A = this chain, B = another copy of it.
Amino acid sequence: MITREKEPPNLEMPFGALESFVTPTELFYVRCHFPIPKINEREWRLKVEGKVGRPFELTLDELREMPAHTILATLECAGNSRVFLVPKVKGVQWELGAVGNAEWTGVRLRDVLERAQISDNAHEIIFEGADNGTIAELPRPAGKVNFARSVPVEKAMDDVLLAFAMNGEPLAGAHGFPLRAVVPGWYGMASVKWLHRLIVTDQPFNGYYQSIDYAYWKRDENGPVLVPLAEMQVKAEIARPGNNEVISANSKYDVRGAAWTAAAVVTKVEISCDGGKSWSEATLNGDATENAWRLWEFEWKARAPGNYTLMARATDSRGRVQSMERNADAGTYMISHCLPIEVEAR
């Protein structure tokens, strides 16, 4: 793993190590905003509160006794590929590996919410993590802040999972032990780790990590408005060759990578070896699973020595095509345009 920040740990998969559809847990990226909370499994509770008819708490054993479900979901950090932005912007300087695809096991959020009898006016469900700390830079609330994000009730009742296991093992501390949300199709910040509180609210939640952080500018008829980040954009990444790799001219090279989208499946990946002038279709591996990435490969031969700019471009079943241009309203997030990988053939 590449260490992007030592403490709290922010670790990136070296994306050239991409081999398998399911990312091994030890290669799955770690994003922490605060030190990993030390949680005593027996004392921990999931509190369900707010606009509910019946607030209650669940122990980990009680959660494990509920009907369990296993899903595949790709999580990408909203700041993944930030190192490609020129000029450089603030935030962890992720390259390509703040993304992974795992098998998550837990209970459906819907099942928990139905038991709580949520209000007819419920608008969003807030996920609060046990992780907290102070934020230095203004504007920020005073004192300690817990990491928290929300999803609309419709999403909560659809496919959100409260996961206690990852790839068949109990969650590791860095991945949210004992419980995390998994919000399929959304950037990773929504899949709150160390989950300890579900708050049902009848208002749009405007917490720090939905406004100052993890938000972007959406344009409507009223001008640009600040909106929390949500769904992942359609995106393909090249795992091999790596940026600045030296390859052999006139030899076959197996270009490989992954592509993902939200609430859809990837239907096409195209590769350009000339900086976007011409494109050829890559081969998609395996079957398509909604909200899980697809691996792809493409056989390429650099016909002559020289420098080449490789790019991958994904299209999804909703007809969305990965953009060649950076969205300037996305600030330091959603780096989903086609990323140039420079190689030299000798």
Contacts and interface: CB of A to CB of B under 8 A. Distances in A.
Nearest to A328: B142
B50 A143 contact: no
Contacts of A227: 206
Interface string A131-164: 0000000111111011010000000000000000
Contacts of A148: 222-223
Contacts of A199: 221-222
A221 B55 CA distance: 14
A38 interface: no
A33 to B, nearest CB: 14
B50 A222 contact: yes
Interface string A118-134: 00000000101000000
> How many copies altogether?
2
B142 A223 contact: no
Nearest to A139: B331
B138 A224 contact: no
B205 A225 contact: yes
A14 to B, nearest CB: 28
A223 B59 CA distance: 23
Given A212-B139, A212-B212, A206 B223 contact: no
Interface residues of A, number: 38
A297 to B, nearest CB: 36
Contact of A138 (B140, B145, B222, B331): B331
Given A126-B222, A222-B205, A222-B207, A90 B138 contact: yes
Contacts of A128: 223
A52 interface: no
B142 A329 contact: yes
22 contacts: A50-B221, A50-B222, A126-B222, A138-B332, A139-B216, A139-B331, A139-B332, A140-B217, A140-B331, A141-B329, A145-B223, A148-B222, A148-B223, A201-B222, A205-B222, A205-B225, A206-B225, A206-B227, A207-B222, A207-B226, A212-B212, A212-B226
- A-B pairs with lowest CB-CB distance, top 8: A142-B328, A141-B224, A141-B217, A211-B226, A206-B225, A139-B331, A206-B226, A138-B331
